[in-house]
Amino acid sequence: MASPSEWKVPPAVVPKPEDYSYDLDRALSAVVGLRSIVPPDAFTAETLGVERAGNGVLIRDGLILTIGYLVTEAEMVWLHFGDGRVAQGHALGFDQETGFGLVQALSKLELPSLPLGQSSAVEIGERVVVAGAGGRSRSVAARIAAKQEFAGYWEYVLDEAIFTHPAHPNWGGTAVIGSKGELIGIGSLQLERARDGKNEHLNMIVPIDLLKPILDDMLKFGRVNRPVRPWLGMYSTEIEDKVVVVGIAGKAPAARAEIKTGDVVVAAAGEKVTSLGGLYRKVWSLGNSGVEVPLTIYRDGKTFDVRVKSSDRAKFLKGPQLH
């Protein structure tokens, strides 16, 4: 992800106040810059880095909603504002199933908050603003390009993610603002899709409706108070209707079971799998973290079965610390 000094929004896609029925500049002022520092020995340091930068949005007094990977294992969080002010924040926690993260500002912000909208009501083609910290010049006038399933290589599935176009160049933690000036999602990724013979970039957005049932738990416990899904620590991708392992998290269950990069996952618990979403849902259906997961693996011309003792990913992570 580009640092704040390396990216800019093309003038042609900068939102114009007259195109929206709400106070655009006021809504954009709820979006702040976010920078976190993670210890070098953190579990996610190698894959996500020890310094992470992106955006967050104020959703109530002092409470910042962002994307979880920006604050996972963070020991320090700094909030940056359009007027040059900087304030310290505390990472309250994140939810692995949705990908949301929460930060509490440790000083009064004197900024408006964005009300939560209804992401399920958003329609394809609808006009939205993908808002980054810094106002209009750091935000994108976009439209909803698609609403569909998204499966990520890190054992993650959204039943109906939101995709926007054109893409925001500094997408992490952006606030997606709907037609009523309400928050309808948080930016997570930038992806490519082929369209009319060309590749175009989209932002994948986590829908805000997923936050509403879990917000109280996240504020109280730092995570959602529910049974934990089994986690394998196996990074995978889809290649021609096959699920292929492209990486293994260190000391994770898949590593202990000696699953290797390049392995093809043929089946889970005896059920053939051809997609990431299908694999993950089958694994999660077997029980909670700690359950044994039977996998059928193809490697070097041979097919064989392994049993992976799953775990809770959170046990590998450093918890939030208040400074």
Q: What is the pLDDT of residue 194?
A: 81
Cα–Cα distances (Å) from 186 to 34, 114, 239, 252, in that order, read: 14, 12, 28, 29
Q: What is the pLDDT of residue 265?
A: 98
Higher pLDDT, 131 or 323: 131
**CA pair distance 228, 294, nearest whole angstrom:** 18
Whether residue 218 contacts residue 225, with contact meaning beta carbons closer than 8 Å, is answered with: no
List Cβ neighbours of 251 (8 Å cut-off, separation of 6 or more): 233, 316
Tokens of 243: 């699920």
Report residue 41's pLDDT band, with 50, 70 and 90 as the boundaries. Answer: very high
Amino acid at 87: A
Q: Would you call 17 helix, strand, or coil by DSSP?
A: helix
Report residue 2's pLDDT band, with 50, 70 and 90 as the boundaries. Answer: very low
- Per residue in 11-38, pLDDT (tens digit) is 999 999 999 999 999 999 999 999 999 9
Whether the per-residue pLDDT at 95 is higher than 50: the answer is yes
Whether the per-residue pLDDT at 291 is higher than 80: the answer is yes
Whether the per-residue pLDDT at 249 is higher than 70: the answer is yes
Whether residue 77 contacts residue 31, with contact meaning beta carbons closer than 8 Å, is answered with: no
- Per residue in 155-187, pLDDT (tens digit) is 999 999 999 999 999 999 999 999 999 999 999
Q: What is the pLDDT of residue 6?
A: 57
Report residue 3's pLDDT band, with 50, 70 and 90 as the boundaries. Answer: very low
Q: What is the pLDDT of residue 198?
A: 83
- Per residue in 194-208, pLDDT (tens digit) is 887 788 999 999 999
Residue position matching structure tokens 């390049």: 262
- Per residue in 60-94, pLDDT (tens digit) is 999 999 999 999 999 999 999 988 889 999 999 89
What is the fold, at CATH topology level, of the domain defined by 1-226?
Thrombin, subunit H (2.40.10)
Q: What is the pLDDT of residue 321?
A: 60
What is the fold, at CATH topology level, of the domain defined by 234-316?
Pdz3 Domain (2.30.42)
What pTM did the predictor assign? 0.94
- For residue 100, what is the enclosing H or E element? strand 100-105
Average pLDDT over residues 6-15: 86
List Cβ neighbours of 286 (8 Å cut-off, separation of 6 or more): 230, 269, 292, 293
Selection from 140, 143, 123 nearest residue 131 by Cα: 140
**CA pair distance 320, 193, nearest whole angstrom:** 36
Whether residue 28 contacts residue 136, with contact meaning beta carbons closer than 8 Å, is answered with: yes
Whether the per-residue pLDDT at 1 is higher than 70: the answer is no
Report residue 299's pLDDT band, with 50, 70 and 90 as the boundaries. Answer: very high
Domain ranges of the chain: 1-226, 234-316
Q: What is the pLDDT of residue 104?
A: 96
- In the chain, the percentage of residues whose pLDDT exceeds 70 is 97
Whether residue 169 contacts residue 104, with contact meaning beta carbons closer than 8 Å, is answered with: no
CA 74-75-79 angle, to 5 degrees, is 75
